[in-house]
Amino acid sequence: MADNYLERKYEEYLERKAAAEKARRAEWKKRMDAYRRRLAEANDEKIAADEDKDGKS
């Protein structure tokens, strides 16, 4: 009986641990996607500014 209790508690712990890890990875991916999007936007703005500067000369 004690073994079943401990096994069940350990399995619940592993499930919680896996869920937390999945949530952590999803949050990291979300932040990384936002960062990449900001980098792309900044790069696009820089290219546009360079083209404007070259066109006015």
3-state helix/strand/coil string of the chain? CHHHHHHHHHHHHHHHHHHHHHHHHHHHHHHHHHHHHHHHHHHHHHHHHHHHHHHHC
Residue 40's domain comprises 1-57
CA 18 to chain centre: 16
pLDDT, tens digit, 9 for 90 and up, residues 9-30: 999 999 999 999 999 999 999 9
CA dihedral 39, 44, 45, 48 (to 10 degrees): 160
The pTM for the full model equals: 0.64
Residue 50: band (very low, low, confident or very high) from pLDDT cuts 50, 70, 90? confident
User: What is the per-residue pLDDT for 56?
Assistant: 58
Chain mean pLDDT for the chain: 92
Percent of all residues in the chain with a pLDDT value above 90, rounded to a whole number: 74
Q: How far apart are CA 55 and CA 45, in angstroms?
A: 15
What is the domain count for the chain? Answer: 1
User: What is the per-residue pLDDT for 57?
Assistant: 46
